[in-house]
């Protein structure tokens, strides 16, 4: 018996075959970043990427919304995981920045780079990389999160997960969706920051979703970095996070946010989905995260095929 027949296929996102996961031709690349350095409460984000990759093998390739096996249309190459840097959170952020630039400026290069965490502190590295690569003033970020993450530093580090949004703001304007946890110290900064718009959870969850029009204007014609902290979703569907705050977004609402971004942005060169802290025996959150990553890739790369 051939030894290969004992194995069930490629270990990559969605378990794609060699053709659909080829580095040479894939328009989507996925970078796992199993980094956990500054997490304050529920730990486990270092296991997030492997749980997403494992769950992704159960995701159906055919997507009814697009009417095709999306991944087969554009191809997804899964890179080796980015090695965690233990020296400091700042050094890890710098490593993410270097990796994002190396991929997006390399040859071959993806049209969109997805990153799976790992904790939220890694996101400012992506924002910094993109700010150096796109025309001045064309980069904006959209953050889905339960937490404002606007602290200038937290537990001694300016690169803590609790400062993720504050650091991203140093690279570009930011639109936050689903926020329901902000500290007294962050509020004055939030109110005074002209580059920042915060949609709190009540408004994000409102049936009419009026904020989507404002989001459409914010991203219109821009290069968008989408950063999804999974705790922005409601804990009823996403309990596998360090701080599961009640009152979060539904699955349908986060997809509306994704559609609004891809329908209006000039491009989405990179996004990340972070803070999955897998709960042993609980598969639904891992599956949700994997499907969300797939949905974002498909909306970025196949939006033309959707009915207007």
**Chain residues that interact with Mn ion, rule: CB under 5 A:** 145-147, 229, 231
218 vs 191: CA distance, rounded Å = 18
Least Å from the CB of residue 221 to Mn ion: 28
The full DSSP string for 30-77 is EEEE---SS--SS--GGGHHHHHHHHHTTS-SEETTTTEEHHHHH-EE
- In the complex with Mn ion, the residue whose CB is nearer, 99 or 146, is 146
Residue that is written with structure tokens 């990389």 in the block: 129
Least Å from the CB of residue 261 to Mn ion: 19
Least Å from the CB of residue 183 to Mn ion: 13
Least Å from the CB of residue 147 to Mn ion: 4
- In the complex with Mn ion, the residue whose CB is nearer, 52 or 146, is 146
C-beta of residue 276 within 8 angstroms of C-beta of residue 48: yes
78 vs 4: CA distance, rounded Å = 20
Using CB positions, name the residue nearest to Mn ion. 147
166 vs 169: CA distance, rounded Å = 5
Least Å from the CB of residue 29 to Mn ion: 25
Least Å from the CB of residue 220 to Mn ion: 27
- In the complex with Mn ion, the residue whose CB is nearer, 97 or 231, is 231
Closest CA to 96 of 10, 50, 151, 33: 33
39 vs 121: CA distance, rounded Å = 9
Least Å from the CB of residue 166 to Mn ion: 13
Closest CA to 61 of 20, 31, 30: 20
- In the complex with Mn ion, the residue whose CB is nearer, 36 or 231, is 231
- In the complex with Mn ion, the residue whose CB is nearer, 97 or 245, is 245
| Torsion angle (degrees, nearest 10) of CA 215, 31, 117, 252 | 40
The full DSSP string for 239-274 is --SSS--SS-B-HHHHHHHHHHHHHH-SEEEEEEEE
Least Å from the CB of residue 19 to Mn ion: 37
- In the complex with Mn ion, the residue whose CB is nearer, 45 or 78, is 45
- In the complex with Mn ion, the residue whose CB is nearer, 169 or 301, is 169
The strand pair at 112-117 and 267-274 is best described as parallel
CA atoms within 13 A on the CB side of 300: 27
- In the complex with Mn ion, the residue whose CB is nearer, 63 or 119, is 119
């Amino acid at each position: 018996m051939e030894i290969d027949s004992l194995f069930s296929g490629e270990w990559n996102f969605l378990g794609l075959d060699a053709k659909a996961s080829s580095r040479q031709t894939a328009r989507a690349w996925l970078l796992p970043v199993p980094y956990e350095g500054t997490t304050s409460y529920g730990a486990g984000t270092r296991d997030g990427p492997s749980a997403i990759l494992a769950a992704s093998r159960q995701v159906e390739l055919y997507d009814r919304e697009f009417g095709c096996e999306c991944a087969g249309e554009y191809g997804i190459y899964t890179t080796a995981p980015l090695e965690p840097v233990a020296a400091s959170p700042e050094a890890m952020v710098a490593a993410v920045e270097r990796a994002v630039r190396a991929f997006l400026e390399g040859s071959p290069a993806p049209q969109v780079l997805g990153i799976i965490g790992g904790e939220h502190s890694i996101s400012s590295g992506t924002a910094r990389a993109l700010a150096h690569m796109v025309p001045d003033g064309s980069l904006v970020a959209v953050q889905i999160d339960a937490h404002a993450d606007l602290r200038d530093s937290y537990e001694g580090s300016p690169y803590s997960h609790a400062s993720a949004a504050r650091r991203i703001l140093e690279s570009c304007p930011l639109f936050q969706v689903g926020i329901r946890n902000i500290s007294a110290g962050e509020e004055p900064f939030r109110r005074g920051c002209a580059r920042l718009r915060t949609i709190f959870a009540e408004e994000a969850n409102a049936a009419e979703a009026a904020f989507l029009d404002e989001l459409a204007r914010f991203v219109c014609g821009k290069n968008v970095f989408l950063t999804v902290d999974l705790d922005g979703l409601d804990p009823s569907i996403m309990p596998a996070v360090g701080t599961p705050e009640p009152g979060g977004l539904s699955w349908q609402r986060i997809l509306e946010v994704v559609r609004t971004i891809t329908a209006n942005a000039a491009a989405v060169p990179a996004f990340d989905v972070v803070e999955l802290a897998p709960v042993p025996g609980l598969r639904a959150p891992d599956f949700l995260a994997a499907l969300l990553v797939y949905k974002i890739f498909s909306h970025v790369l196949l939006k033309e095929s959707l009915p207007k």
